Chains A and B, each alone.
Chain A
């Protein structure tokens, strides 16, 4: 129930509320409850209720980059902060952003709170609160033509919906998520002040608006959407009448300073970054642009904006899902009825059109990075967009109209809409509370990991190092630790009392990538030194470190036609759905398998380091018309378990497409490069998921083989190119020397070296390390005449500072590739190691491509 807070309003301006004519005290109480401070207090309370769990949260994922940066800033390098204003943000490699103001806010937090994460989260919450309050003020100001009462209702509920919107957890509960909330808060403030300036002709407000806009721009590039949004607002809302010339002139006059500011910003930014667009570069950026259509329009990504349930928190039948669906249905019905029966009196208005336009404008800059996953990862990209979305929802649900108070049906409809909006706010709040849980859990888990590592390292002999084979990357969409450098920050001051990171070896991606991949040759080198390293894995379920026993030995295992005879008995006299499994001298014939059936090996007890490849020889043919449901290409999948009971975790699975031509083909699963394989320690059983339905299979052979005869060996010369604990090699001088050995590859007479582009990783393109063909994305490649020896990469080959990968492949005398590529060596090249002439030389030296292996 809302009434105007000012006494000079007429009854017609108010949304009719079911007001009891009761006592004067009651009226006073009602007026107090709907006054500005009270409404703002409600918005603050809503925010605190939704995000109270993570106010005591911890640093997660990218936060560590900033913590390390701030440590530097406050330990003798304050100039770094200023550097953000005229160079790439944090001077990072792999990204090109211009967000100096964010670092200032973080530095301010560090100044007050030091490394106490609570302070940072408090600031995040404050920016979220500020955003919701500014949206409230903005919407009310925008709609003040409808009277104070109605504009207050829409304004308040816009702010309230924004406060509890379930897609805000990533921004509020992740410290560095503030990039969006800071930018949005200033953007909304700027917009609100713009409206104040336009309507009240206030010069001071206009100046403040410009200042807020500039701060927003310095926080995130998304703020460039403000000038076009203001143009839209001028044309649709502020000056809807008049000739186009007049309207455009008004628009230009009002928004001119903002355009000027935006152009100036773009100029400064381009000068600082050396590029207009920026964003992600290297193979990460290429990967994002490649799946643009899929990320926007498939997998229900856009629908998730309105239906914001974390799929791992909310099961399909959850009551909140049903509730939200019902509320949307009621809202839609109410809107449809309104449009049919009351269109002339309170149908949709131009403000809804503006809100829609604003929403579209706010989404445009995210085109490159948009990806709202099922677990709501990437929801930060819609943070700004939720502001116009909340306004739009309100405008669709609430029947705005001039002088409507005396019209009975509309009065009732308004009251019902208020109830509906209240229900939406409550429902969203319930969803947000639960969507926010994973973030609280993630914080706790990172704290637990640090404590467990500290405890474990205390017990280890001083010279022994701990090898942690996996990191908790994310839990139900909440980020934790993605790479070694993040863990390294966690394990040294200011977050840890002493430096522990120099005793922890990791196998994580250098920046981002498939966390299940592991360079097994590096691991084997460590396993060969049992006195130097202790191995363990992090159990995310029980949140504890589990010691791992890895035994390196070579053993190969073959299941031929004799061993593949399946002991199988399918119930009693059941004909329907009975698969056909017949053992013969050529192999095991399988037909009529259903999609849920799979073959399982006898018990094994094989070290996970003993096998590099599981090879399956299979002939598959389509036995008839393939059903529409089976229309996807047939696949053969390998599954495995490290537990004696035959339950195969869903993560332990690798699939390959099958050629259904009736001829036997060899399918090779590179298993040793998978953490999920290596962490089993001892492989107890493997299974095969063969093409089912209309496909007939003949399984001829299953073999677990070592890769010694297929994988060439490449290693860094530790005297010139030492490797750090995260597996990154850096030149100690200007010599990038590597040793290679492809002599075990049958038919190899020479070796080809591949060097990646800067900040690109071969596995981002090939999906793994052991490719059977050469990469089309390498920076350069060259041949070495021998199959064993040492070579150096000239520094001039590196065009810029950054991360590089080097790998080799064996070549036959006729230039065909033999076996597969070696495990890569990760290099980091510093800018000071590169000279200008080397860049030019790099452009000249390009050798012809060798042929790929068949």
Chain B
């Protein structure tokens, strides 16, 4: 032993021992990262603290309902998530039992209190942020990083404030993506760790995480590909050293590890296919060809823009913030570009992250789209992790290839840009969260209103709720009658009042702009009805709905002198008489009065002409016929397809949330059906199908909208009248066998039957002039006529365009009974049947009947 050492040992007797003074070594990566964890924790809670009071929204009710029943001892529905389609969804096939399990645990912990569920979401999100940081640490550590945990902390912080996340974090059922991403990131991190230190425990952990991610959401199927990409882009033969060549193919040994993931994926795929009966599932396109056809979805420019500038367009925020963000992105790109040119940028990690972000989106090919109000942004949640890391690596010189001075300049500039991005994103996130908080408040109001309305209701009385709230600027609310039924019973309500609530919503989720006016009239005429309430989105509450009054028909003839009774929009439209000199315009709309018709040139702005004031009862005046014909610039007759719309103003139209001039939206453009083809076009629209027509109150004014274009239209007149002579009548003939729905006793058009049970319908189409026979159309299970606006009635028939029929039968007589084909009712779910009238030539006349909905129960 050397002398100095011996002295040292001697002097360090227990009595003299004084522990070294504790100090924080900020240069240590571990210390830095711990600080980063604290910062991330702070950022997560600061951003999402307000979401604790949002409550349950939309699909949350469905899932909390069955876990609540499971907690109460009724396990069947909960357990079915492990053996079949998730939550028995009627619009999607998926397998996500782990999500149901986590909700169940939450329910055990928190009961029906939504704040607890939200807290869990935030904690999972925090874990995701930390994993993002850890993965960044792995990536930068492998390349001679001189910045310690800096990039990792920034990546975690950026992920925490990325403004596309509210749909995932603030919505309880967004947990699907949270859990999937958590385990996905966990698997990636564990794999990177395994490749670094070669401990097989990490590989095993990675595989377990992968499996958990898979049973949380199918988006995780891309993990083996991402692991393969990591092998290609990041690792070399020696394992933990950077590859020495671009896209080097690693040794075959490395791919054995990748193969493990594919094996897990294969096992999962087989198991899931056996349970669901389909390999792909999801929202419809079951074939891989769908992926090829839907590649355009991924190139949608507005969606791609939303990734970089993720602002909900229905929320106000200064455009300055967006400009600031653009400048930050450009700055980051420039910094990276300069390093690239100087040869000091690392391409491989950037390439890996870009490929990962892209690959992680692939499973969403059926529905990939981010709407202007950020609906669908949850689909980018997983990809946002590599996206954030990529931005940080592009901004900060994580590689040790720069000179010290250059590295300092780059570090300073990069940090400045990333900090700018962090601030910008935080502001956007705050704005994007506002709709979710408002939606939560409105749902709380709705539930308290329901409680108040049903408390003192006599036992045999019901109330009708019109227009259930769909969403608030992208934050989903209620929409489906099924969810209304759930919130009207425990644990969401004190007692079960669901049987007291009636709605006009379609059975299958879809378009909510239409109703069946005949069925609606029967409902409001029912003696059991105690009140009708309509949802008014502006104050966010139900208000009493009053029955409209007014005339049942209206006619406008464009005769001589009528031109000056019209009000044009825009007001700069020019009027003139055909037989005189007149002023016209190359751009502005013009209206020329001819004997018997108005010639309208819509110009480059388009034109809406409003007819003289009317007083129409929308529940009686149902069908509009417009006499109008169009010609192109060459003088040929042309179709007005999607260029003509009918507009109206109702007495209480504002309460529908529609603009006061209720121009029928994009889906309701009147490419109108030519019921009677003639020298001059005769177009018909079934106004009674539009909610904004039927529920808006007495119609006060009517208008005709012509879209811009190089054409002219000769408008001769408009006739609005009841649909009584146009719609065949249909009802269920054998109700004693097909019992009416217990939840909807006042709705005989809705029947529940057992498989193979016969349903006979009585029909009467004799009042429709020209009818010689009828055709019965039955839809496939899960498809209905409800979503169809049916403005193009005749052009859509006989194939019905929007739905592919399961069966069609023709009957020779105009009145009688007809039995639904047995084979059409064998598959469980909702079917609809309706009758259309045919003339002697087999062409369709009139309008189709209102549908009979048949719910076929499971065996």
Q: Is the CB of A596 within 8 A of B572?
A: no
Q: Is the CB of B572 within 8 A of A597?
A: no
B401 nearest CB across to chain A (Å):
9
Binds A, one of B340-348, B548-556, B763-771, B780-788: B340-348
Q: Does B573 contact A (CB under 8 A)?
A: yes
Interface residues in B548-596 (C-beta closer than 8 Å to A)? 563-564, 567-568, 570-588, 592
Give which listed residue, B343, B564, B586, B599, contacts A598 with CB less than 8 A.
Answer: B586
Q: Is the CB of B572 within 8 A of A559?
A: no
Which of chain A's residues have a CB closer than 8 A to the CB of B578?
602-603
- Cα-based distance from A573 to B631 in the complex (angstroms): 30
Contacts A598-B583, A601-B581 given; indicate if A408 touches B343 (C-beta within 8 A). Answer: yes
Which of chain B's residues have a CB closer than 8 A to the CB of A572?
567-568, 571
Q: Is the CB of B342 within 8 A of A341?
A: yes
Give a binary string over A561-576; 1 marks a CB under 8 Å from any B CB, 0 the rest.
0011111111111100
Q: Is the CB of B587 within 8 A of A559?
A: no
- Cα-based distance from A576 to B422 in the complex (angstroms): 48
Closest residue to B589 on the A side, CB-wise? A571
Q: Does A33 contact B (CB under 8 A)?
A: no
Give a binary string over A640-668; 1 marks a CB under 8 Å from any B CB, 0 the rest.
00011111010000000000000000000
Interface residues in A259-277 (C-beta closer than 8 Å to B)? none
- Cα-based distance from A569 to B568 in the complex (angstroms): 11
Q: Does A42 contact B (CB under 8 A)?
A: no
Q: Does B247 contact A (CB under 8 A)?
A: yes
- Cα-based distance from A573 to B568 in the complex (angstroms): 11
Closest residue to A407 on the B side, CB-wise? B343
Closest residue to A413 on the B side, CB-wise? B341
Q: Does B803 contact A (CB under 8 A)?
A: no
- Cα-based distance from A43 to B631 in the complex (angstroms): 49
Q: Is the CB of B246 within 8 A of A18?
A: yes
- Cα-based distance from A649 to B633 in the complex (angstroms): 8
Q: Does B249 contact A (CB under 8 A)?
A: yes
A602 nearest CB across to chain B (Å):
5
Contacts A566-B582, A567-B582, A568-B574 given; indicate if A596 touches B587 (C-beta within 8 A). Answer: yes
- Cα-based distance from A663 to B694 in the complex (angstroms): 63
- Cα-based distance from A601 to B576 in the complex (angstroms): 11
Q: Is the CB of B583 within 8 A of A566?
A: yes
Q: Is the CB of B571 within 8 A of A571?
A: yes
B309 nearest CB across to chain A (Å):
19
Which of chain B's residues have a CB closer than 8 A to the CB of A18?
246-247
Q: Is the CB of A646 within 8 A of B246?
A: no
Which of chain A's residues have a CB closer than 8 A to the CB of B581?
559, 563-567, 588, 599-602
- Cα-based distance from A403 to B342 in the complex (angstroms): 18
Which of chain A's residues have a CB closer than 8 A to the CB of B601?
646-647
- Cα-based distance from A18 to B575 in the complex (angstroms): 69
- Cα-based distance from A646 to B579 in the complex (angstroms): 12
B570 nearest CB across to chain A (Å):
8
Q: Is the CB of A596 within 8 A of B583?
A: no
Q: Does B838 contact A (CB under 8 A)?
A: no
Q: Is the CB of A599 within 8 A of B572?
A: no
Contacts A18-B246, A567-B580, A596-B586 given; indicate if A647 touches B712 (C-beta within 8 A). Answer: yes
Q: Does B678 contact A (CB under 8 A)?
A: no
Q: Does B538 contact A (CB under 8 A)?
A: no
Which of chain A's residues have a CB closer than 8 A to the CB of B571?
571-574
- Cα-based distance from A649 to B563 in the complex (angstroms): 27
Which of chain B's residues have a CB closer than 8 A to the CB of A602?
578-581
Q: Is the CB of A600 within 8 A of B582?
A: yes
Interface residues in B273-318 (C-beta closer than 8 Å to A)? none
Q: Is the CB of A646 within 8 A of B592?
A: yes
B168 nearest CB across to chain A (Å):
33
Which of chain B's residues have a CB closer than 8 A to the CB of A20?
245, 247, 249
Q: Is the CB of B599 within 8 A of A646?
A: yes
Give a binary string over A550-587; 1 marks a CB under 8 Å from any B CB, 0 the rest.
00000000010001111111111110010101000000
Interface residues in B316-342 (C-beta closer than 8 Å to A)? 337, 340-342
A595 nearest CB across to chain B (Å):
8
- Cα-based distance from A646 to B594 in the complex (angstroms): 12
Q: Is the CB of B572 within 8 A of A574?
A: yes
Which of chain B's residues have a CB closer than 8 A to the CB of A21?
245
Interface residues in B658-708 (C-beta closer than 8 Å to A)? none
Q: Is the CB of A599 within 8 A of B583?
A: yes
Contacts A573-B571, A577-B572 given; indicate if A568 touches B582 (C-beta within 8 A). Answer: yes
Closest residue to B593 on the A side, CB-wise? A567
Give a binary string over B182-222; 1 marks a CB under 8 Å from any A CB, 0 the rest.
00000000000000000000000000000000000000000
Q: Is the CB of B576 within 8 A of A567?
A: yes
Give a binary string over A193-222; 1 marks a CB under 8 Å from any B CB, 0 the rest.
000000000000000000000000000000
Q: Is the CB of B341 within 8 A of A337?
A: yes
Give a binary string over B254-274; 1 marks a CB under 8 Å from any A CB, 0 the rest.
000000000000000000000
Give which listed residue, A22, A541, A598, contacts B585 with CB less than 8 A.
Answer: A598
Q: Does A278 contact B (CB under 8 A)?
A: no
Interface residues in A13-40 (C-beta closer than 8 Å to B)? 18, 20-22
Q: Is the CB of B588 within 8 A of A596?
A: yes
Which of chain B's residues have a CB closer than 8 A to the CB of A649?
633
- Cα-based distance from A18 to B351 in the complex (angstroms): 15
Q: Is the CB of B580 within 8 A of A643?
A: no
Contacts A21-B245, A572-B571, A598-B586 given; indicate if A645 touches B580 (C-beta within 8 A). Answer: no
Q: Does B635 contact A (CB under 8 A)?
A: yes
A589 nearest CB across to chain B (Å):
13
Which of chain B's residues have a CB closer than 8 A to the CB of A73?
none
Q: Does B634 contact A (CB under 8 A)?
A: yes
- Cα-based distance from A597 to B587 in the complex (angstroms): 8
Which of chain B's residues have a CB closer than 8 A to the CB of A597?
574, 583-586, 588
- Cα-based distance from A541 to B580 in the complex (angstroms): 32
A412 nearest CB across to chain B (Å):
7
Q: Does A687 contact B (CB under 8 A)?
A: yes
Which of chain A's residues have a CB closer than 8 A to the CB of B564?
569
Give which listed residue, B567, B572, B577, B635, contacts A570 with CB less than 8 A.
Answer: B572
Q: Is the CB of A645 within 8 A of B635?
A: yes
B389 nearest CB across to chain A (Å):
22
Which of chain B's residues have a CB closer than 8 A to the CB of A643?
635
Give which listed residue, B576, B631, B635, contacts A569 with CB less than 8 A.
Answer: B576
Contacts A599-B583, A602-B581 given; indicate if A647 touches B572 (C-beta within 8 A). Answer: no
Give a binary string over A597-639; 1 marks a CB under 8 Å from any B CB, 0 the rest.
1111111000000000000000000000000000000000000
- Cα-based distance from A602 to B576 in the complex (angstroms): 10
Q: Does A409 contact B (CB under 8 A)?
A: yes
Contacts A412-B340, A596-B587 given; indicate if A647 touches B635 (C-beta within 8 A). Answer: yes
- Cα-based distance from A81 to B341 in the complex (angstroms): 60
Give a binary string over A46-61; 1 marks a CB under 8 Å from any B CB, 0 the rest.
0000000000000000
Which of chain B's residues have a CB closer than 8 A to the CB of A541?
634
Which of chain B's residues have a CB closer than 8 A to the CB of A588?
581
Most buried by B among A571, A574, A596, A600: A571
Q: Is the CB of B587 within 8 A of A581?
A: no
Which of chain A's residues have a CB closer than 8 A to the CB of B633?
647, 649
Closest residue to A598 on the B side, CB-wise? B584
Q: Is the CB of B586 within 8 A of A409?
A: no
Which of chain B's residues have a CB closer than 8 A to the CB of A645?
599, 631, 635, 712
Which of chain B's residues have a CB closer than 8 A to the CB of A600?
576, 581-584
Which of chain A's residues have a CB closer than 8 A to the CB of B249?
20, 22
Could you show 12 A-B contacts with beta carbons less than 8 Å apart? A409-B342, A567-B581, A568-B576, A569-B574, A570-B583, A571-B574, A600-B581, A602-B579, A644-B635, A645-B631, A645-B635, A647-B635
Excluding A569-B563, A579-B583, A645-B631, 11 further A-B contacts by CB distance (< 8 Å) are A18-B247, A412-B340, A565-B581, A566-B582, A567-B576, A570-B575, A571-B574, A574-B572, A599-B583, A603-B579, A645-B599
- Per CB-CB distance, the 10 closest pairs between chain A and chain B, nearest first, are A409-B343, A567-B580, A571-B571, A408-B343, A569-B575, A567-B577, A596-B587, A574-B571, A596-B586, A596-B585
Residues of chain A whose beta carbon lies under 8 Å from any beta carbon of chain B: 18, 20-22, 337, 341-342, 407-409, 412-413, 541, 559, 563-574, 577, 579, 581, 588, 594, 596-603, 643-647, 649, 687
